[in-house]
């Protein structure tokens, strides 16, 4: 999770900023080329946040306002009609309290639906899983009563497994328990059908995907920033990470799917690294 960046030395901060600017520049070029494409498939961009701290609420509200041209839909949207209005979905991983305190009022005021992916065995507690550098360790997960009381007409609930592990690194039986057990637990706690799951850390393999199918999930979500092709209706849906303090141009490009080039570049880099030296 990356809701708050750690303090860095000047050199480290400059390196981070340059990397961020480089990604933004490539994404801007990608978006411009995509605009020139003769045909554009009907697609859905799914955004994912972790937390919305008090200090970031105003910035988050401005991001929502910037989506005025979009049709905001649920993450499991499936309408395949060729709608020229851009589509976006908003999701939150980990079910942090700040989402209820700061994000929910802003989304409700605009009538924007969203999805919360909750780790069923961690509700009401501080996160005990390995967190990425810069994560806000003061965050607490919402409790069962709060999760149960969320407005059904606005908020969908999905699983983030039971204990937030890296699923591909678990024995198959343990991974299946995390996947199916969290579904059963959340359905019992919320009295709702739970048919969506977001992979913790975006970590999964083919075995994990098959375990999700076996458990009865309709869709599962990665962190590959690739828009959903609604004509194909893929089982694994990509999402792009956004933060309330993203630069306006950065958020503009992310919400339009312009960071979709990143997984392809990463795959090429992995192949080059894995190539044996002659």
Contacts of 173 (CB under 8 A, 6+ apart): none
Six token digits for residue 138: 């003061």
Strand-strand pairing, 228-229 and 43-49: antiparallel
> Which of 230 and 39 is assigned the larger pLDDT?
230
Tell me the residue length of the chain: 278
Residue 197 pairs with which residues in a beta bridge? 159, 220
**Per-residue pLDDT for 11 more than 80?**
no
State the average pLDDT over residues 204-221: 98
Q: What is the pLDDT of residue 264?
A: 84
Count of alpha carbons within 13 Å of 84, Cβ hemisphere only? Answer: 2
- Is 207 in a helix, a strand, or coil? helix
Six token digits for residue 76: 């499991």
State the average pLDDT over residues 231-238: 94
**Alpha helices (H) in 36-169, listed in sequence order:** 57-65, 97-98, 104-109, 144-149
> Which of 224 and 131 is assigned the larger pLDDT?
224
C-alpha distance from residue 115 to each of 5, 171, 257, 259 (Å): 24, 29, 19, 21
Q: What is the pLDDT of residue 42?
A: 80
- Identify the helix (H) or strand (E) that includes residue 229: strand 228-229
pLDDT band at residue 131 under the 50/70/90 scheme: confident
Q: What is the pLDDT of residue 221?
A: 98
Identify whether the C-beta of residue 181 lies closer than 8 Å to the C-beta of residue 162: yes
Tell me the CATH number for domain 10-266: 3.20.20.370
State the average pLDDT over residues 57-84: 91
- Phi, psi of 144, rounded to the nearest 5 degrees: -60, -45
């Amino acid at each position: 999770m990356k809701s708050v960046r750690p303090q860095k030395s000047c050199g480290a901060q400059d390196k981070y900023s340059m990397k961020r600017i480089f990604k933004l520049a490539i994404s801007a070029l990608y978006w411009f080329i995509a605009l020139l494409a003769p045909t554009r498939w009907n697609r859905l961009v799914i955004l994912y946040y972790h937390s919305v701290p008090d200090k970031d609420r105003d910035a988050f509200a401005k991001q929502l306002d910037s989506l005025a041209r979009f049709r905001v839909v649920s993450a499991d949207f499936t309408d395949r009609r060729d709608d020229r209005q851009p589509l976006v979905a908003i999701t939150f991983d980990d079910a942090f309290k700040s989402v209820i305190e700061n994000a929910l009022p802003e989304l409700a005021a605009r009538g924007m639906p969203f999805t919360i992916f909750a780790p069923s065995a961690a509700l009401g507690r501080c996160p005990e899983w390995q967190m990425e550098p810069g994560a806000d360790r003061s965050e607490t997960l919402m409790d069962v009563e709060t999760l149960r009381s969320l407005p059904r007409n606005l908020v969908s609930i999905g699983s983030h497994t039971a204990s937030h592990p890296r699923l591909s690194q678990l024995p198959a039986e343990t991974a299946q328990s995390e996947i199916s057990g969290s579904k059963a637990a959340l359905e019992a706690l919320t009295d709702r059908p739970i048919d969506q799951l977001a992979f913790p850390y975006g970590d999964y393999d083919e075995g994990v995907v098959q375990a999700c199918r076996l458990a009865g999930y309709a869709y599962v979500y990665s962190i590959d920033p690739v828009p959903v092709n609604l004509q194909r209706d893929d089982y694994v849906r990509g999402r792009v990470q956004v933060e309330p303090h993203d630069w306006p141009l950065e958020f503009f490009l992310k919400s339009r799917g312009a960071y979709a080039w990143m997984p392809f570049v990463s795959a090429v880099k992995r192949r080059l690294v894995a190539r044996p030296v002659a």
